[in-house]
Amino acid sequence: MAAIVLDAVGKRFRKIVLRAGYTTLKSSLTQLFAARAAPVEHVQALQDVSLSVDRGETVGIVGRNGSGKSTLIRIIAGIYPPDSGRVAIEGRVSALIELGAGFHPEFSGRENIYINGIILGFTKREIRRRFDDIVDFAGLARFIDSPVRTYSVGMYMRLGFSVAVHVDPDILLVDEVFAVGDEDFVQKCLAKMEEFRRRGKTIVLAGHDLALLERWCDSAVLLDGGRVTARGHPADVIAAYRGSLAAAPIGC
């Protein structure tokens, strides 16, 4: 049975284009106030994307920067609504999509754990039961009452991943975050995801660590220009991705 179904999903974003040629302070201020009247272009982030992910499947999303990977993850997470098509999700979703996403920088780690848990539908009592496990896994006991704006990027990653996995989701979404983690914690995260796989959880990983995706995923999807151009065994999809990079290098 499918945990995630996307049917002909499309998403575009508005891009305001300001005309060049302003050289004085007065003309720059005029440009600022005239922004609403400026020409508007649209960037098509996803185009006619159809995709099904079975329960218990681990799927990798690959593609060059700007291919639509992060937009796809955010649509599955419910952060972005699609402009066209249909999205169906079965089960509780937890997402680690961006360092610091969902955290209020002026609140402490403790407060942010409660805020994120409540957003995901937990009661304070349920969060309290999980709180010590979240902090212990992240290894942030000394800093848990400090504002998260004082955290390093690695600490953000530790807290974000720990919250994401300890709310016990049915579907875990991870978007390119392991690159900033220290090796010990990354291995700890991978061990946790292996536990999820054994328990039949659905996992979607997006990123550029091709060796990790090939080793971990049951299947992979290649996005190019917001479209799905390949789907299948990770080794085959990664080979197709590498072939597309060789045929059209970045900047060409």
- Residue-wise pLDDT for 197-209, tens only, equals 999 999 999 988 8
Report the alpha-carbon distance of residue 57 to residue 68 in Å, rounded: 21
Give the chain's domains with CATH numbers. Answer: 2-247 (3.40.50.300)
Cα separation of 181 and 157, whole Å? 7
Q: Specify the pTM.
A: 0.84
Is 58 in contact with 221 (CB distance < 8 Å)?
no
Instruction: Identify the pLDDT of residue 252.
Output: 46
Return the pLDDT at 13.
Answer: 92
pLDDT the model gives residue 8: 97
Tell me what pLDDT residue 69 has.
94
Residue at token pair 């090939």: 214
- Residue ranges of the chain with per-residue pLDDT less than 70: 16-39, 98-102, 177-181, 249-252
**pLDDT tens, position by position, 59-90:** 999 999 999 999 999 999 998 999 999 999 99
